[in-house]
Amino acid sequence: MANLGFVGLGVMGGEMVNRLLGKGHSVTGYNRTRSKAEWLVKKGMKWAESPRAVVAAADATFSMVTDSAALGAVMNGADGMLAGLTKGKIFVDISTVGPAFSREIAAKVREKGGDMVDSPVSGSVITLQEGKLSVMVGGRKETFERVKPLLEDIGPRVTYVGENGLALVMKIATNLSLAVQMLAFCEGVLLAEKSGIARATAVDVLTHSVIASPMVQYRGPFVLDMPKEAWFNVNIMQKDMLLALELGRQLHVPMPTTAVTNEFLTAARGMGLAEKDFAVVFDVLAQMSGAKQ
């Protein structure tokens, strides 16, 4: 049993804490909105009043927040995680943020005598609940070896990819494909539908065909029945697409399908769909094609 901390108890973060508690670990947690964490308190999670208090109470602290700005907010200041950090403590950031910003945070952590790895994950709430999440880790190899057993309690596949920031690069490279795949899937469904094939039939065929990646299998049916609570909303997906496009610009890697798909996410936001799951690009394409939504 490990003495852990967790900052950021949203949909994914909360489920991760649930798994860690189920494995017998002691977890102290903090979330900006406490009400979202009450179900975890009832399961045995200890509540802390600030990110600083979480780090002070734990040997290793995880964080999963929305973006670089949110990570900076919980890291810095009098009540931030850095303020509670002392020698020997480990920080594991699961957020998807810019690699350069993550390296800056890691340097600050090391100045305080601790160490940090970036450890984004690939998968959805369903894959997390089923214990099928894939975890990537960037940082010092010796620190990776220390946190690997903890990460395996979150997801069974844990891969070390290299120095700090490189796990984030790998996550961004993964996520851009999610949105691109979804847009291509939507094109196929609409082409079939406007030819006279029932939408449900097209979805069934495509989700059981050679193009059916795990993402297409679980998100494809969303074009028939969009979930009330987004698994991965348009705003967050576009944040990742913009990170990908910026990396492509820096590394001279052309990213034509990423750029086109990003424009459909912009259109979704313009239509007031920013908080919907990014599968809502189907509605954007359907409206453009004159299909019934």
Just list the catalytic residues.
171
Residue 117 near residue 143, CB atoms below 8 Å = yes
Residue 83 near residue 117, CB atoms below 8 Å = no
Tokens of 25: 């670990």
3-state secondary structure of 38: helix
Tokens of 67: 């973006």
CA distances from 121 to 93, 118, 151, 152 (A): 10, 10, 10, 12
CA distances from 204 to 20, 160, 167 (A): 35, 36, 34
3-state secondary structure of 174: helix
CA distances from 19 to 24, 40, 154 (A): 9, 11, 6
